[in-house]
Structure 1
Amino acid sequence: MIRDLNDTLVFVRVVRLGSFTAAAQALQIPKTTVSRRVRELEQAIGVQLLRRTTRQLSLTEAGAVYYEQCKDIAATLEHAELAVHQLRDGPRGWLRVTVPYSFGVSWFAPLVAGFRQAYPEIKLEILASHVPLDLVGEEIDVALRLGALPDSSLVARRLASYATGIYAAPEYIERHGAPVTPDALIQHCTLVLNQARRDVGYVWPLRKAGAKLRNYRVEPTIIANDPALLKDALLAGEGLSLGMDRSMQIDVEAGRLCRVLPQWIGPPQDLNAVTAREHLPSPKVTAFIKYLKERMSVSEISHDWTE
């Protein structure tokens, strides 16, 4: 039996940082103490965990197994200790957040500014990405994500649901006209996300009051992996696009876009605040999610929508 859990935590830190010296600096203890604790851990377990040479440090087979079993425990303890310190001192420190690259500054930036005013002791690092990032591997505290969340290792808290509709630039409508019914979409240039397989085809699920949900075939002329790219093409008059009303609002008011088939609505898009299941939510994470939830409506979708 291990006599001191601290020895295990020191071992995990050595492996994570790759050297005794780096671990000693991070833990703010002498290098000799780090080496001694790892050696005592090996003696307590009865196996060698690390191969030590003058040039490098590597795990033995037993060490690799032991590290895989202990790294999550160490991370949980570190987060628990951080949470206790933050409870004592209040939410503070760096908060690492990832958001979709397509998030517009017109509505997200004011939220960030307001949060900073409410919690001046919290500093934000924001990572915009076309693809979902690994929250654990990238050491991300919170991810804001749109749509379905298939990864069961994540914890999602819904912040809002946004209605969707079909939009086009006036220039496109002048050249090609506007579809009168959803069945006419197949005859138009459409801009779609690459979330469906090409061999199956692309469809837009639409419905209106008093009608059932139907999938309408579209023939895309532009396919992209991020809504921001489609938005640029949409504004350039390249075709029709199914998007969130919230993200189109400013351009509609400015006359750069107009709603097509306004009686028909698309599926709502949920906005979720996502955290890693293995990480305990710290006060700064809790404060951030609570702040966003209080300032976002969870009922912006049309009540006419049904699956």
Structure 2
Amino acid sequence: MKRDLNDTLVFLQVVRLGSFTAAAHALQIPKTTVSRRVRELEQAIGAQLLRRTTRQLSLTEAGAVYYERCQSVADTLEQAEHAVQQLREGPRGWLRVTVPFSFGVSWFAPMLAGFRQRYPQVRLEILASHVPLDLVGEKIDLALRLGALPDSSLIARRLASFPTGLFAAPAYLEREGHPAGPEDLMQHRTLALHQARRDVGYVWPLRRAGGRLKDYRVDPQILANDPALLRDAVLAGEGLTLAIEQSLDEDVRAGRLVRVLPEWIGPPQDLNAVTAREHVPSPKVTALIAYLKAHMAGDVA
């Protein structure tokens, strides 16, 4: 027998409210209709979902499994309806966003003025963090994340891809000399991110233009979990680092840092806009993602 989604929604309401009478009142339909729809759902599924007595209603084992699996469907439908209602009014309300600490300070925060001018009804709450936050548990609408995203419960939309390279302060290079090639990195002081750790130790993937990436061993003197934490150490002449070029452009232009082995480049770092799979993106989330993509493409000031 063909199943009717409305029958499932009626069943969910019965379970949530604990009775056919309460469900009928909430749905504004006759109690007999509620009872009939649940009965037709059981016939379509081929299993009893509810135990009915004169005093109480309870779930069967099959009913408990079905209820648990269908709750997310109902929640998604409610979110979709809410998103459509918001769309009619335009993006508005609080938008909770988490960003990597380094990007939050140097890149994301300066762009907010343009976004706020375009969407004055949106209020932003920004959480800068060195570690990925739980989007569902922290009730976060959108996360900006760099690099690979192994968590399959997330939906990622790539905003940009940044080239990486080696950098050092002139003072360090005057004192320690320039490496002749990546093979010399083990003889230099290096400043690395924790994620550079491999089974063989710490490595930096590097390649010449047109070539393939190859892992080169490094022996870090300083480790950190965010590039911003390494920048001051590099500026102070503590050693070499592998970093996103754009994040250090201003320091290079000012002469505070120098590109080392410029013919060698590291792996590009993707910047992704990430949402939880179970959350239907609201108009304000969609608006921010579109704005960020346009900004990265140079289509907005």
Please classify the TM superposition score into its range, dividing by the shorter chain length: 0.7 to 0.9
Secondary structure in 2 matching 1:207: strand
* CA displacement, residues 88-130 of structure 1 (integer Å, 9 cap, x when unaligned): 1111111111111221533322211111111111111111111
Q: Cα RMSD between the aligned structures?
A: 3.4
Find out whether 1:82 has 2:82 as its counterpart.
yes
**Alpha-carbon shift at residue 63 of structure 1 (Å):** 9.5
The counterpart of 2:9, out of the listed 5, 8, 11, is: 5
User: Which residue in 2 is equivalent to 1:56?
Assistant: none
Partners of 1:232 and 1:47 in 2: CA distance: 67
Provide structure 1 residue ranges, at least 5 long, that are not aligned to the other structure.
Answer: 15-32, 49-59, 299-307
Q: Residues 293-304 of structure 1: matches in 2 within 5 Å?
A: 293-297=293-297
User: Which residue in 1 is equivalent to 2:119?
Assistant: 119
Amino acid at match of 1:145: R
Q: Residues 49-128 of structure 1: matches in 2 within 5 Å?
A: 68-128=68-128
Q: Contact between 1:104 and 1:247, CA under 8 Å: does it hold in 2?
A: no
Q: Contact between 2:213 and 2:266, CA under 8 Å: does it hold in 1?
A: no
**Alpha-carbon shift at residue 80 of structure 1 (Å):** 0.9
**Alpha-carbon shift at residue 261 of structure 1 (Å):** 1.0
Q: Residues 7-46 of structure 1: matches in 2 within 5 Å?
A: 8=12, 46=50
Q: Residues 285-296 of structure 1: matches in 2 within 5 Å?
A: 285-296=285-296
Amino acid at match of 2:50: G
Secondary structure in 2 matching 1:295: helix
Partners of 1:237 and 1:75 in 2: CA distance: 54
What TM-score results when the alignment is normalised by the length of structure 1? Answer: 0.76
**Alpha-carbon shift at residue 211 of structure 1 (Å):** 4.7
Amino acid at match of 2:145: R
What TM-score results when the alignment is normalised by the length of structure 2? Answer: 0.77
Partners of 1:118 and 1:166 in 2: CA distance: 37
**Alpha-carbon shift at residue 160 of structure 1 (Å):** 0.6
Q: Contact between 2:166 and 2:261, CA under 8 Å: does it hold in 1?
A: yes
**Alpha-carbon shift at residue 168 of structure 1 (Å):** 0.9
Distance 1:270 1:84, change over 3 A: same
User: Which residue in 1 is equivalent to 2:265?
Assistant: 265
User: Which residue in 2 is equivalent to 1:52?
Assistant: none
Secondary structure in 1 matching 2:148: coil
Find out whether 1:184 has 2:188 as its counterpart.
no
* CA displacement, residues 218-276 of structure 1 (integer Å, 9 cap, x when unaligned): 11111222222222322222211000001011122222221111121111111111112
Q: Contact between 1:47 and 1:62, CA under 8 Å: does it hold in 2?
A: no
Secondary structure in 1 matching 2:145: strand
Distance 1:233 1:69, change over 3 A: same
Secondary structure in 2 matching 1:267: strand
Provide structure 2 residue ranges, at least 5 long, that are not aligned to the other structure.
Answer: 39-48, 53-59
User: Which residue in 2 is equivalent to 1:163?
Assistant: 163
User: Which residue in 2 is equivalent to 1:208?
Assistant: 208
**Alpha-carbon shift at residue 154 of structure 1 (Å):** 1.5
User: Which residue in 1 is equivalent to 2:41?
Assistant: none
